[in-house]
Amino acid sequence: MRLDPFYLIVDDADWLSRLLPQGVKLVQLRVKDRAEHDLRAQIATAREICARHGAQLVVNDYWRLAMEEGCDFVHLGQGDLDAADIPALRRAGVRIGVSTHDEAELGRAVSLSADYVALGPIYPTLLKQMDFAPQGLARVGAWKARIGETPLVAIGGLTPERAIAALAAGADSACVVTDILRNAEPEARAREWLSATQPWREREGFFEPDYALARVCPSPNHGARLRPVSSLVLHYTGMQTGEAALALLCNPRSEVSAHYVVEEDGRVLQLVPESRRAWHAGISYWAGETDMNSASIGIEVVHPGYDDPRPYPAAQIEATAALAKDICRRHAIPPERVLAHSDIAPGRKRDPGEFFPWEELARCGVGRVVEQNPALGATTVSLGDAGAKVASLQRDLAAYGYRVDQTGVYDAQTVQAVEAFQRHFRRAQVDGRADGETRVALARLVATLGERV
Ligand SMILES: Cc1ncc(COP(=O)(O)OP(=O)(O)O)c(N)n1
Ligand SMILES: Cc1nc(C(=O)O)sc1CCOP(=O)(O)O
């Protein structure tokens, strides 16, 4: 059985004549504290409107009334399960969705062969007091791994942005109350939900992941790849949450994307097939190549960015290193072609920042780092200088791959390239001034070009 990826809960059947015409196809009637005749009327009305719009109706709590009114789907909480006549529901062909919040409840739902399993609250919810802390997205994946083909519904505190993240994490359907019913424009908001969940409805844009541990979260933002893959480019998302970054990278209006996103908890999502050109590099250059989108694979590491340079979590770096290693192996990308976004767009981009732990990736065999030695006594060359040292610096920067015209003058372009180099390879001081340590580090790296680790 497949569920629509957008599951709307309403607290009164009157909502349905407003919201089903927007295209909603899966709806729960969750009416509390009404007299039986009123409940019966609510169910009958909901049933009629759902039939007219080809929508699936699920009745919360009132399994006996639902059965008597000819409904074919009920939702039961753990308390409701104690009272419900499950064999009678099964005999009547009524499908059953079950709420779960912990392992024991999940075990119970699985042993009852629930037709779907709901997990919540994924995020804090305003709707009702919960005895359970927010579950988080990693739990969504764990639940899905446990229940296999049985549909998984994510519920609690969802918005369209969070729904994308929940579906990408493994949910089959994202369920909502407040974000729509308390919205100033419920119809418009329902349409936003429909559009955010559309790829999961059509399985449009879905593909087999290139990396076995990745979960697909398709972005429409890609085109034809015009070059073979020769580089791997690392970015940070520069946004407060992974949910916000995913929503942006999957929105056709944003016209940005990346092949992969690595979440803070180490989950890996693939947005664009590696065979396609994702739109992550922008105006950029490396070693003569100006179409870096075509020549590379892009990984976005979820991190708020420069204004909040907190450490990247260990699980995230471990996952990034494993992913990067797999990509480099499959595309024969040499270590010197594992690049920072800042390397290929100096002056324009600073990600993934000098606080990115390149050493940890290098320990896993990904990319290059270079030993640091203060080159005591060596002169520093900087903006405005000219002469042999500047010419040699510019030669080395260009030989390594940076875009630097060989002017012999320490110009603005040289400052930016040195800054980018330092941000990646000499992170203790990023100032665009080529001191001895910077120049020695660069020369050492140039000497390793073509070497294999
Ligand atoms: C899809 C979905 N998931 C969870 C619930 C909560 O059900 P329950 O635990 O029975 O609590 P109430 O909704 O009755 O307050 C749900 N209704 N739907
Ligand atoms: C009704 C309900 N059940 C939950 C559970 O975890 O079982 S969370 C929840 C509230 C969902 O509403 P909203 O979208 O407003 O957060």
CATH code of the domain in which 163 resides: 3.20.20.70
**Is residue 231 domain-resident?**
yes
- What is residue 265's predicted lDDT score, i.e. its pLDDT? 97
* 46: CB partners within 8 A, 6+ apart: 13, 16, 27, 29, 57, 59
Task: Kindly give the distance from the C-alpha atom of residue 63 to the centroid of ligand 1, in angstroms, as a whole number.
Answer: 13
Query: Residue 144 belongs to what domain range?
Result: 6-202
Last residue of a domain, one of 202, 228, 254: 202
Q: Which atom from ligand 2 is nearest to the alpha carbon of 182? A: 15
Please list every protein residue whose CB sits less than 6 Å from any atom of ligand 1. 28, 30, 60-61, 75, 77, 80, 97, 99, 118, 120, 128, 153, 155, 175
In sequence order, what DSSP letters do the residues of 162-207 get, joined into one string?
HHHHHHHHT-SEEEESHHHHTSSSHHHHHHHHHHHHHHHHHTTT--
Nearest CA to ligand 1 atom 10: 77
Q: Please report which ligand is nearest the Cα atom of 157.
A: 2
Q: Output the pLDDT for position 372.
A: 84
Atom of ligand 1 minimally distant from the CA of 32: 14
Choose among 136, 219, 324, 438: nearest CA to 119. 136
Residue 331 · residue 268 · CB < 8 Å: no
Q: What is the pTM of this model?
A: 0.94
Identify the helix (H) or strand (E) that includes residue 324: helix 314-331
| Cα 326 to ligand 2 centre (Å) | 39
CATH number at residue 235: 3.40.80.10
Rounded distance between C-alpha atoms, residue 430 and residue 447, angstroms? 22
Do both 51 and 189 map to the same domain? yes
In this structure, which residue's CA is closest to atom 7 in ligand 2?
Answer: 120
The answer to whether residues 74 and 164 belong to one domain is yes
290 and 315 both lie in a single domain: yes
Cis upstream peptide for 357 (omega within 30°): no
* H or E stretch covering 18: helix 14-19
CA of 156 to the centre of ligand 2 (A): 4
List phi, psi (to 5°) of 275: -70, -10
Q: Specify the pLDDT at position 453.
A: 47
Kindly report the CATH number assigned to the domain that includes residue 395: 1.10.101.10
Q: Which residues pair with 286 in a beta bridge?
A: 289
The residue among 114, 314, 142 whose CA lies nearest residue 215 is 142
Write the ipTM.
Answer: 0.99
pLDDT at 452: 55
How far does the centroid of ligand 2 lie from the alpha carbon of residue 186, in Å? Answer: 18
Q: Do 175 and 56 fall within a single domain? A: yes
User: How much distance in Å is there from the Cα of 175 to the middle of ligand 2?
Assistant: 8
Residues 195 and 254 in one domain: no
Q: Give pLDDT tens digits along the chain (453 positions).
A: 899 999 999 999 999 999 999 999 999 999 999 999 999 999 999 999 999 999 999 999 999 999 999 999 999 999 999 999 999 999 999 999 999 999 999 999 999 999 999 999 999 999 999 999 999 999 999 999 999 999 999 999 999 999 999 999 999 999 999 999 999 999 999 999 999 999 999 998 999 999 999 999 999 999 999 999 999 999 999 999 999 999 999 999 999 999 999 999 999 999 999 999 999 999 999 999 999 999 999 999 999 999 999 999 999 999 999 999 999 999 999 999 999 999 999 999 999 999 999 999 999 999 999 988 887 778 999 999 999 999 999 999 999 999 999 999 999 999 999 999 999 999 999 999 999 999 999 999 999 997 654
The size of the chain, in residues, is 453
- Amino acid 373: pLDDT: 83
Number of domains composing the chain: 3
